[in-house]
Structure 1
Amino acid sequence: MNDDVRAQSLDQLRWSLQALALPSDAQRSLFPPFACTADELALDFDHWSETAKQQQTFTTEQLAALASVSALLSAMSGENDAGLWTNSALGLPRWQKVRERARKALETFRWSLDTPPLGRAIFVRSKPGPS
Protein backbone atom coordinates (compact mmCIF):
# COMPACT_ATOMS: atom_id res chain seq x y z
CA MET A 1 0.00 0.00 0.00
CA ASN A 2 1.30 3.39 -0.99
CA ASP A 3 2.24 5.68 1.93
CA ASP A 4 0.41 8.59 0.26
CA VAL A 5 -2.82 6.57 0.14
CA ARG A 6 -2.46 5.64 3.82
CA ALA A 7 -1.78 9.24 4.76
CA GLN A 8 -4.79 10.40 2.76
CA SER A 9 -7.09 7.90 4.47
CA LEU A 10 -5.86 9.09 7.88
CA ASP A 11 -6.43 12.72 6.89
CA GLN A 12 -9.94 11.90 5.72
CA LEU A 13 -10.68 10.00 8.94
CA ARG A 14 -9.39 12.94 11.00
CA TRP A 15 -11.50 15.39 9.03
CA SER A 16 -14.62 13.23 9.35
CA LEU A 17 -14.15 13.07 13.14
CA GLN A 18 -13.52 16.81 13.30
CA ALA A 19 -16.73 17.42 11.36
CA LEU A 20 -18.70 15.18 13.73
CA ALA A 21 -17.22 16.98 16.75
CA LEU A 22 -18.13 20.51 15.62
CA PRO A 23 -21.16 22.43 16.94
CA SER A 24 -24.29 21.92 14.85
CA ASP A 25 -24.13 25.33 13.13
CA ALA A 26 -20.55 24.68 12.07
CA GLN A 27 -21.51 21.20 10.85
CA ARG A 28 -24.23 22.65 8.63
CA SER A 29 -21.75 25.12 7.11
CA LEU A 30 -19.58 22.26 5.81
CA PHE A 31 -22.17 21.14 3.27
CA PRO A 32 -24.30 22.80 0.60
CA PRO A 33 -27.79 23.87 1.76
CA PHE A 34 -29.47 21.10 -0.23
CA ALA A 35 -27.42 18.33 1.42
CA CYS A 36 -28.68 16.36 4.38
CA THR A 37 -25.83 17.22 6.73
CA ALA A 38 -26.64 14.53 9.29
CA ASP A 39 -26.51 11.81 6.63
CA GLU A 40 -23.36 13.19 5.07
CA LEU A 41 -21.55 13.36 8.43
CA ALA A 42 -22.40 9.75 9.24
CA LEU A 43 -21.66 8.40 5.77
CA ASP A 44 -18.33 10.22 5.61
CA PHE A 45 -17.25 8.90 9.00
CA ASP A 46 -18.37 5.35 8.20
CA HIS A 47 -16.53 5.30 4.89
CA TRP A 48 -13.25 6.73 6.15
CA SER A 49 -13.29 4.80 9.40
CA GLU A 50 -13.62 1.51 7.54
CA THR A 51 -11.11 2.52 4.87
CA ALA A 52 -8.51 3.64 7.41
CA LYS A 53 -8.95 0.49 9.52
CA GLN A 54 -8.10 -1.60 6.45
CA GLN A 55 -4.92 0.39 5.80
CA GLN A 56 -3.64 1.28 9.26
CA THR A 57 -2.80 -0.29 12.58
CA PHE A 58 -4.61 1.44 15.42
CA THR A 59 -4.30 1.08 19.18
CA THR A 60 -6.99 -0.72 21.14
CA GLU A 61 -8.07 2.64 22.56
CA GLN A 62 -8.35 4.19 19.10
CA LEU A 63 -10.36 1.24 17.77
CA ALA A 64 -12.67 1.42 20.79
CA ALA A 65 -13.22 5.16 20.27
CA LEU A 66 -14.05 4.65 16.58
CA ALA A 67 -16.38 1.77 17.47
CA SER A 68 -18.11 3.95 20.06
CA VAL A 69 -18.89 6.64 17.49
CA SER A 70 -20.01 4.04 14.98
CA ALA A 71 -22.23 2.23 17.50
CA LEU A 72 -23.99 5.43 18.49
CA LEU A 73 -24.64 6.40 14.88
CA SER A 74 -25.96 2.88 14.19
CA ALA A 75 -28.22 3.04 17.25
CA MET A 76 -29.67 6.28 15.89
CA SER A 77 -30.44 4.70 12.52
CA GLY A 78 -33.51 2.69 13.38
CA GLU A 79 -36.84 2.99 11.62
CA ASN A 80 -38.23 5.05 14.51
CA ASP A 81 -35.32 7.50 14.43
CA ALA A 82 -35.81 9.08 10.99
CA GLY A 83 -36.32 12.43 12.71
CA LEU A 84 -32.70 12.37 13.86
CA TRP A 85 -31.45 12.55 10.28
CA THR A 86 -32.45 16.09 9.38
CA ASN A 87 -30.39 19.27 9.45
CA SER A 88 -32.45 20.67 12.33
CA ALA A 89 -31.95 17.48 14.36
CA LEU A 90 -28.22 18.20 14.64
CA GLY A 91 -29.03 20.40 17.65
CA LEU A 92 -30.68 17.54 19.56
CA PRO A 93 -29.07 15.85 22.59
CA ARG A 94 -28.43 12.60 20.67
CA TRP A 95 -26.22 14.51 18.24
CA GLN A 96 -24.49 16.20 21.16
CA LYS A 97 -23.54 12.72 22.35
CA VAL A 98 -22.10 12.00 18.88
CA ARG A 99 -20.06 15.20 19.13
CA GLU A 100 -18.73 14.14 22.54
CA ARG A 101 -17.70 10.71 21.28
CA ALA A 102 -16.07 12.20 18.19
CA ARG A 103 -14.06 14.55 20.43
CA LYS A 104 -12.96 11.59 22.53
CA ALA A 105 -11.88 9.76 19.38
CA LEU A 106 -9.89 12.80 18.26
CA GLU A 107 -8.14 12.78 21.65
CA THR A 108 -7.15 9.12 21.28
CA PHE A 109 -5.42 9.97 18.01
CA ARG A 110 -3.95 13.18 19.48
CA TRP A 111 -5.69 15.16 16.77
CA SER A 112 -6.92 18.71 17.29
CA LEU A 113 -10.51 19.87 17.10
CA ASP A 114 -10.23 22.06 14.02
CA THR A 115 -12.68 22.74 11.24
CA PRO A 116 -11.93 20.32 8.41
CA PRO A 117 -11.15 21.75 4.99
CA LEU A 118 -14.10 22.62 2.80
CA GLY A 119 -14.56 21.10 -0.62
CA ARG A 120 -13.52 17.55 0.27
CA ALA A 121 -16.48 16.15 -1.65
CA ILE A 122 -18.53 17.02 -4.68
CA PHE A 123 -22.27 17.35 -4.23
CA VAL A 124 -24.65 17.21 -7.14
CA ARG A 125 -28.22 18.38 -6.74
CA SER A 126 -30.51 15.73 -8.12
CA LYS A 127 -33.10 16.61 -10.69
CA PRO A 128 -36.73 16.20 -9.67
CA GLY A 129 -38.13 12.88 -10.80
CA PRO A 130 -41.08 12.51 -13.15
CA SER A 131 -44.42 13.33 -11.59
Structure 2
Amino acid sequence: MLERLRWSAQSIAQPSAVQIALFPEFVEVADELALGWEEAIHDLKGICTHLQPAQIAAIEELDAFMASISGQSHAQLWTMDALKTSPEWQTLRELANQVLEQMLWPKTPPSVRSDIYVTHR
Protein backbone atom coordinates (compact mmCIF):
# COMPACT_ATOMS: atom_id res chain seq x y z
CA MET A 1 0.00 0.00 0.00
CA LEU A 2 2.80 2.40 0.73
CA GLU A 3 4.32 1.65 -2.67
CA ARG A 4 1.51 3.50 -4.46
CA LEU A 5 1.88 6.45 -2.07
CA ARG A 6 5.64 6.55 -2.66
CA TRP A 7 5.22 6.44 -6.43
CA SER A 8 2.63 9.19 -6.32
CA ALA A 9 4.61 11.47 -4.00
CA GLN A 10 7.77 10.97 -6.07
CA SER A 11 5.82 11.77 -9.25
CA ILE A 12 4.28 14.95 -7.87
CA ALA A 13 7.64 16.11 -6.51
CA GLN A 14 9.32 16.06 -9.93
CA PRO A 15 9.75 18.94 -12.38
CA SER A 16 7.09 19.08 -15.07
CA ALA A 17 9.34 17.58 -17.77
CA VAL A 18 9.87 14.47 -15.64
CA GLN A 19 6.17 14.29 -14.76
CA ILE A 20 5.23 14.42 -18.42
CA ALA A 21 7.71 11.67 -19.29
CA LEU A 22 6.09 9.34 -16.74
CA PHE A 23 2.90 9.03 -18.79
CA PRO A 24 1.90 8.22 -22.37
CA GLU A 25 1.34 11.17 -24.70
CA PHE A 26 -2.47 10.78 -24.73
CA VAL A 27 -2.78 11.30 -20.96
CA GLU A 28 -3.77 14.50 -19.15
CA VAL A 29 -0.73 14.46 -16.85
CA ALA A 30 -1.99 16.83 -14.17
CA ASP A 31 -5.22 14.87 -13.84
CA GLU A 32 -3.37 11.57 -13.69
CA LEU A 33 -1.07 12.85 -10.95
CA ALA A 34 -4.09 13.92 -8.91
CA LEU A 35 -5.95 10.66 -9.53
CA GLY A 36 -2.89 8.65 -8.56
CA TRP A 37 -2.59 10.62 -5.32
CA GLU A 38 -6.29 10.14 -4.58
CA GLU A 39 -5.98 6.37 -5.08
CA ALA A 40 -2.88 6.25 -2.87
CA ILE A 41 -4.62 8.18 -0.10
CA HIS A 42 -7.63 5.88 -0.32
CA ASP A 43 -5.33 2.86 0.07
CA LEU A 44 -3.59 4.49 3.01
CA LYS A 45 -6.64 4.89 5.24
CA GLY A 46 -6.27 1.45 6.81
CA ILE A 47 -2.61 1.74 7.78
CA CYS A 48 -2.40 5.28 9.14
CA THR A 49 -1.86 3.90 12.63
CA HIS A 50 1.57 2.68 11.52
CA LEU A 51 2.74 6.16 10.52
CA GLN A 52 4.37 8.81 12.67
CA PRO A 53 2.45 12.05 13.37
CA ALA A 54 4.87 14.11 11.23
CA GLN A 55 4.39 11.70 8.33
CA ILE A 56 0.61 11.93 8.60
CA ALA A 57 0.80 15.73 8.84
CA ALA A 58 2.89 15.98 5.64
CA ILE A 59 0.52 13.67 3.77
CA GLU A 60 -2.52 15.57 5.00
CA GLU A 61 -0.99 18.92 4.05
CA LEU A 62 -0.37 17.79 0.47
CA ASP A 63 -3.83 16.23 0.29
CA ALA A 64 -5.54 19.36 1.64
CA PHE A 65 -3.71 21.66 -0.77
CA MET A 66 -4.52 19.43 -3.73
CA ALA A 67 -8.19 19.40 -2.68
CA SER A 68 -8.16 23.20 -2.37
CA ILE A 69 -7.12 23.63 -6.01
CA SER A 70 -9.37 20.92 -7.41
CA GLY A 71 -12.80 21.24 -8.93
CA GLN A 72 -14.35 23.03 -11.87
CA SER A 73 -13.62 26.47 -10.44
CA HIS A 74 -9.89 25.67 -10.69
CA ALA A 75 -9.92 23.96 -14.09
CA GLN A 76 -7.20 26.32 -15.35
CA LEU A 77 -4.74 24.66 -12.92
CA TRP A 78 -5.13 21.23 -14.51
CA THR A 79 -3.69 22.00 -17.94
CA MET A 80 -0.29 21.16 -19.34
CA ASP A 81 0.68 24.83 -19.23
CA ALA A 82 -0.30 25.12 -15.56
CA LEU A 83 1.66 21.96 -14.76
CA LYS A 84 4.73 23.67 -16.21
CA THR A 85 4.31 27.22 -14.94
CA SER A 86 1.78 27.70 -12.16
CA PRO A 87 2.83 28.53 -8.60
CA GLU A 88 0.21 26.05 -7.38
CA TRP A 89 2.05 23.18 -9.04
CA GLN A 90 5.30 24.41 -7.53
CA THR A 91 3.61 24.31 -4.13
CA LEU A 92 2.40 20.76 -4.81
CA ARG A 93 5.97 19.75 -5.67
CA GLU A 94 7.29 21.29 -2.45
CA LEU A 95 4.61 19.55 -0.37
CA ALA A 96 5.34 16.24 -2.10
CA ASN A 97 9.02 16.69 -1.27
CA GLN A 98 8.03 17.15 2.38
CA VAL A 99 6.14 13.86 2.24
CA LEU A 100 9.21 12.16 0.78
CA GLU A 101 11.41 13.63 3.51
CA GLN A 102 9.08 12.55 6.30
CA MET A 103 8.72 9.05 4.88
CA LEU A 104 12.50 8.79 4.33
CA TRP A 105 11.96 8.05 0.65
CA PRO A 106 14.35 9.14 -2.11
CA LYS A 107 13.47 12.23 -4.11
CA THR A 108 14.47 10.50 -7.32
CA PRO A 109 11.94 10.11 -10.13
CA PRO A 110 9.87 6.95 -9.91
CA SER A 111 10.02 4.36 -12.64
CA VAL A 112 7.53 4.60 -15.48
CA ARG A 113 4.58 2.38 -14.69
CA SER A 114 3.83 0.16 -17.64
CA ASP A 115 0.95 -1.54 -15.84
CA ILE A 116 -1.45 1.40 -16.01
CA TYR A 117 -2.27 1.86 -19.67
CA VAL A 118 -3.00 -0.48 -22.53
CA THR A 119 -0.98 0.42 -25.58
CA HIS A 120 -0.96 -0.89 -29.11
CA ARG A 121 2.34 -1.74 -30.69
Report how many aligned residue pairs link the two structures. Answer: 117
Question: For the aligned residues, what is the CA RMSD?
Answer: 1.5
Q: 1:99 is aligned with what amino acid?
A: R
> Following TM superposition, by how much is the alpha carbon of 1:47 offset from its aligned partner in structure 2, in angstroms?
0.8
Q: Map 1:1-131 onto structure 2 (within 5 A).
A: 9-56=1-48, 57-91=50-84, 92-124=86-118
TM-score, normalised on structure 1? Answer: 0.82
* Percent identical residues: 38
Which whole-Å CA distance do the structure 1 matches of 2:64 and 2:38 have between them?
A: 11
> Which string of whole-angstrom CA distances, capped at 9 and with x for unpartnered residues, describes residues 63-109 of structure 1?
11111111111111132210111122112110000000000010001
The structure number with the bigger radius of gyration is 1
Which whole-Å CA distance do the structure 1 matches of 2:87 and 2:75 have between them?
A: 15
Q: Please list every run of 5 or more consecutive structure 1 residues that lacks an aligned counterpart in the other structure.
A: 1-8, 126-131
Which whole-Å CA distance do the structure 2 matches of 1:18 and 1:102 have between them?
A: 7
Ranges of 4+ aligned residues in structure 1 off by more than 4 Å? none
TM-score, normalised on structure 2? Answer: 0.89
Q: Please list every run of 5 or more consecutive structure 2 residues that lacks an aligned counterpart in the other structure.
A: none
